[in-house]
């Protein structure tokens, strides 16, 4: 039961990261800009850990992809333990 909850929370957070990354590709205003700010507040602290070690490749920032992979791996390991 606890493992299922952890996996659902990780899945939700993964979708927040994906939404934030996709929204960062477009200039936003109004309500969408407010949503992007909220998403930034939620996901930037986690993404900044990876941005310190993974430089962008040209115009592509792969730190979000690595962050999601690490998050999913950690959740999988934790779910097995529980």
CB-based contact 24:64 (threshold 8 Å): no
Q: Is pLDDT above 80 for 75?
A: yes
**pLDDT in the model for residue 19:** 96
Domain layout of the chain by residue ranges: 2-81
What span, in angstroms and rounded, lies between the C-alpha atoms of 78 and 55?
28
Q: Which residues contact 37 (CB under 8 A, 6 or more apart)?
A: none
pLDDT by residue (tens digit) across 12-70? 999 999 999 999 998 989 999 999 999 999 999 999 999 999 988 888 889 999 999 99
Q: Which residues contact 72 (CB under 8 A, 6 or more apart)?
A: 10, 14
Q: Is pLDDT above 80 for 82?
A: no
**pLDDT in the model for residue 79:** 83
Confidence (pTM): 0.90
Q: How far is CA 11 from CA 20, 32, 59, in A?
A: 14, 22, 27
């Amino acid at each position: 039961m606890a493992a299922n909850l952890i996996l659902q929370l990780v899945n939700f957070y993964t979708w927040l990261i994906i939404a934030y990354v996709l929204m960062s590709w477009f200039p936003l205003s109004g309500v969408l800009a407010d949503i992007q700010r909220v998403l930034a507040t939620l996901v930037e602290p986690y993404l900044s850990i990876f941005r310190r070690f993974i430089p962008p490749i040209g115009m592509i920032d792969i730190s979000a992809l690595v962050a999601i992979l690490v998050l999913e791996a950690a959740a999988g390991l934790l779910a097995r333990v529980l």
